[in-house]
Amino acid sequence: MTLRFSKTALLLGAAALLAPVAASAQGARDLNAESSDVLIFEGEVRDEPVVFHYRMAPSSSLVIDVIPDAMSELDPTVTVTDRATGEVLAEDDDGGEGLASRAQVFASEAREIEITVSSFAFFSGEESSGAFELQLRPGSDEPEPMRSIAYGEVASGELGPDGVDLFRIEGEEGELLQVALTADGGELDPLLVLYKGEGTRGEELASDDDGGEGLNSRLRLVLPESGSYTIAAQAYSGSSGAYTIRVAEPKAPTIQSPKQVLDLGERVSGHLGSGYENGSMDPSEITYQLTPAAIAAIRGGRGEVTISMGLPEVDDPYFPSTIDSFIEVGFETPLGYASVMSDDDGGEGLNSRLTVDLSPIAGDGDWLERLRITASSIGDGGAFELEIIDGAR
């Protein structure tokens, strides 16, 4: 006898195989009756950043994740600020997985914060947009322990291998902040790092390893805005030992042009760094040309001159200049700059000195107008003084 299976019977049999077994089923969880510690919101960055406001409870820590959509081209940056003061509390680009951003903030008291989500390319002028998910969840971290320090103050401490001590300082926009970290014996190789806001989760603004004498560190920076900053005194590469940290008195920065003029008998001062092109607030070299009065004096018979460059006559003992002066004399020509002579240590110690007789070119065309004197440093930068006087010295 041949058995025939109908289409209806096959469908009923398949349904029985797919049906859950009652004995192994789990009870459904009623989400309507529960609460979650995680808040999730959706947004999209287009032409402008997206802004959220949130109130933090006293003694609470908050982790903020910005996760770009899988189909999004967005590389998000998150910035967290205090709504009352405008202070930047934390900032991050790729602290999460992949291109996701993650920031964490702590509130000792109730605090209203502003969360700004923008495109990393927004700051470079490139177009970038896309959808994202904002997640807020309780954090477990306590605030990083730190001490307060002010302009003109000195503090000390001791660091173990790879240890870090944090110092909070309040500053005003446009102020010149100078910090020196000095090893007090031992084998400490100090490292200085400056962060915006409180703690090390904010934007890193500057760092220095050996900018001071020897292995000591020194930072020199114009503050971009008013508010709190964090100075991290660190032990570099497994070193350890005692240290002293000093913050110089506040003062307005001097904006230096890389091209200046120099008169005969004039003594000028300046400060050299790693160069504007490398993000330094100081140029790596300054080029001087003679004033009309100096040119007239040389053409009037005072052709022999001495050019000297060296350390300032009065130097800050806590922020001494580490400059190794270097002078170069040349001319601007139709084919570009042509160097004629230079000096490194012709003066006392690391100071430079050149004696030049300009009489042969004094009456020959415009050579004196095209004369250039360039002041730079071999190695570290710092404060310097330069002068040109008549006669041999």
DSSP state letters, 82-112:
ETTT--EEEEESS-SSTT-EEEEEEESS-EE
In 93-175, the DSSP E strands lie at 101-107, 111-119, 130-138, 147-148, 154-159, 164-171
User: Is-contact 93 77, C-beta < 8 A?
Assistant: yes
Q: Which residue has the higher pLDDT, 40 or 36?
A: 40
Q: How far is CA 138 from the centre of its chain?
A: 29
User: What pLDDT, on the 0 to 100 scale, is given for residue 308?
Assistant: 96
Domain 147-247 in the same topology as domain 38-138: yes
**pTM metric for this prediction:** 0.61
User: What pLDDT, on the 0 to 100 scale, is given for residue 141?
Assistant: 64
User: What pLDDT, on the 0 to 100 scale, is given for residue 328?
Assistant: 96
Structural tokens at position 51: 């802004």
- Residue 364: how many other CB atoms lie within 10 Å: 8
User: Is-contact 218 179, C-beta < 8 A?
Assistant: yes
- Per-residue confidence band for 96, with pLDDT thresholds at 50, 70 and 90: confident
- Per-residue confidence band for 12, with pLDDT thresholds at 50, 70 and 90: very low
Which one is the CATH code of 147-247: 3.30.450.30, 3.40.50.300, 2.60.120.380, 3.40.50.150? 2.60.120.380
Half-sphere exposure in the Cβ direction for 4 (13 Å, CA): 2
- Domain ranges for the chain: 38-138, 147-247, 259-390
> Which among 221, 214, 229 is positioned nearest to 168, based on CA atoms?
229
Q: Which residue has the higher pLDDT, 300 or 215?
A: 300
> Which among 45, 106, 39, 37 is positioned nearest to 72, based on CA atoms?
45
User: What pLDDT, on the 0 to 100 scale, is given for residue 26?
Assistant: 57
User: What pLDDT, on the 0 to 100 scale, is given for residue 40?
Assistant: 92
Q: Would you say domain 259-390 falls under CATH 3.40.1360.10?
A: no
Average the pLDDT over 309-334 and give the result: 88
User: What pLDDT, on the 0 to 100 scale, is given for residue 127?
Assistant: 61
Q: What is the largest CA-CA distance in the chain?
A: 134
Answer yes or no: is pLDDT of 151 > 90.
yes
Counted residue by residue, the chain has a size of 393
Q: Which of the residue ranges 71-75, 177-181, 239-243 would you say has the lowest mean pLDDT?
A: 71-75
Interatomic CA distance for residues 17 and 14, integer angstroms: 5
Q: Would you say domain 38-138 falls under CATH 2.60.120.380?
A: yes
Interatomic CA distance for residues 111 and 109, integer angstroms: 6
User: What pLDDT, on the 0 to 100 scale, is given for residue 29?
Assistant: 60
Average the pLDDT over 146-150 and give the result: 93
> Which among 132, 98, 140, 97 is positioned nearest to 115, based on CA atoms?
132
pLDDT digit string (tens) for 259-289? Answer: 999 999 999 999 998 887 777 788 999 999 9
* Beta strand 147-148 pairing with 164-171: parallel
pLDDT digit string (tens) for 202-239? Answer: 788 889 887 777 788 888 888 988 888 999 999 998 88
